[in-house]
Amino acid sequence: MEHLGPQLFNGLVLGAFYAIVAIGLSLIMNLTGTINMAHGSFMTLAGYLAYTMVLRGTSFWFALIAAPLIAVIVGIAVERTLVRPLYRREPFYSLLMTFGLSLIAEEAYRLIWGANGVPFAPPPALNGALGLGFMVFPTFRIFIVLVLIVALIALALVLTRTRFGLRLRAAVQDTEMIAALGTNTQVLYAVNFGLGIFLAGIAGVLAAGMLGLSPTSGNALLMPAFVTVIIGGMGSLFGSIVGGLLIGVAISMTTLFVPAASEVSMYVLMAVVLLVRPRGLFGEEGIFG
């Protein structure tokens, strides 16, 4: 049982990752019904940009913010030109479109940064382990949790305390009404998409430091993020947080007790949730009825 503590912590770190990716997905899905299969590609993009920046001599801290911002610019450009025309169509089309984009992106990364994985290390200050007597935590993981918490609080403040957040939440409820009341919904869509990509970008840079960076690495996190959205409930950001943590813990606990089932555990969890409570733990009825 001495592994329970560390394993629980690790499950939570993993879960926090899934949560932040899932929230980005969820933001985009809620407002526009777009299932963004290219979300993982944007994570990888931010990771590679941060890698290049650090290689050129900028600090890790600068890259942690700047790389996701550049990914946001690319993201908004993609949204304006390719995704926007599909908003009034069935979700299949944006799914097909973004899947196509993710194929193109993977190949583009291979062309630009090479097929080989590249080394991307967190700065030395974050590279040790923190001993707490009874267990040891790698510093970078604690840092990851802190960054993710800050990002989530910031997001919550944006959504609840700003005019933009208010409009966004209103638009999710009734886009036509908010448009009639004079809000430029096109700007809202673009900014919302950018916000989702920004979260993906942050997660992408952190994941590059923890898990390694290669043209295919971001896509590995995509499926768990989708499962997170489903378990937490579509339409609920709080649900995504709970869902992510739940999956993280489920994976780490099955790893410890039933190793053979660790990969399949999140899918089983998802199937159970869908059967018992299809809208997810905190989801709203009606979205994607």
- Restricting to residues 147-206, name those near another protein by CB under 8 A: none
Q: Which token pair is 43?
A: 């994570």
Question: If binding is defined by CB under 8 A, does position 92 make contact with another protein?
Answer: yes
Contact (Cβ atoms closer than 8 angstroms) between residue 50 and residue 201: no
Query: Least Å distance between CB 157 and another protein?
Result: 30
- Interacting positions 254-283 with another protein (CB under 8 A): 255-256, 259-260, 262-264, 267-268, 270-271, 274-275, 278
Question: If binding is defined by CB under 8 A, does position 77 make contact with another protein?
Answer: no
Contact (Cβ atoms closer than 8 angstroms) between residue 229 and residue 25: yes
**C-beta of 79 vs 106, nearer to another protein:** 106
Q: Which token pair is 40?
A: 């993982």
Q: Which token pair is 102?
A: 């993710």
- Which one of 55-63, 166-174, 189-197, 211-219 is the stretch in contact with another protein (CB under 8 A)? 211-219
Question: If binding is defined by CB under 8 A, does position 45 make contact with another protein?
Answer: no
Question: If binding is defined by CB under 8 A, does position 132 make contact with another protein?
Answer: no
**C-beta of 90 vs 176, nearer to another protein:** 90
For another protein, the binding residue among 183, 236, 240, 252 (CB under 8 A) is: 252
**C-beta of 160 vs 216, nearer to another protein:** 216
- Interacting positions 111-130 with another protein (CB under 8 A): 111, 114-121, 127-129
| Residue 217, C-beta contacts closer than 8 angstroms, at least 6 positions apart | 44, 47, 117, 207, 208, 211
Quick one: 263 exposed, middle or buried, by C-beta within 10 A (0-12, 13-18, 19+)? exposed
CA distances from 23 to 19, 29, 78, 130, 194 (A): 6, 10, 19, 29, 13
Query: Least Å distance between CB 68 and another protein?
Result: 21
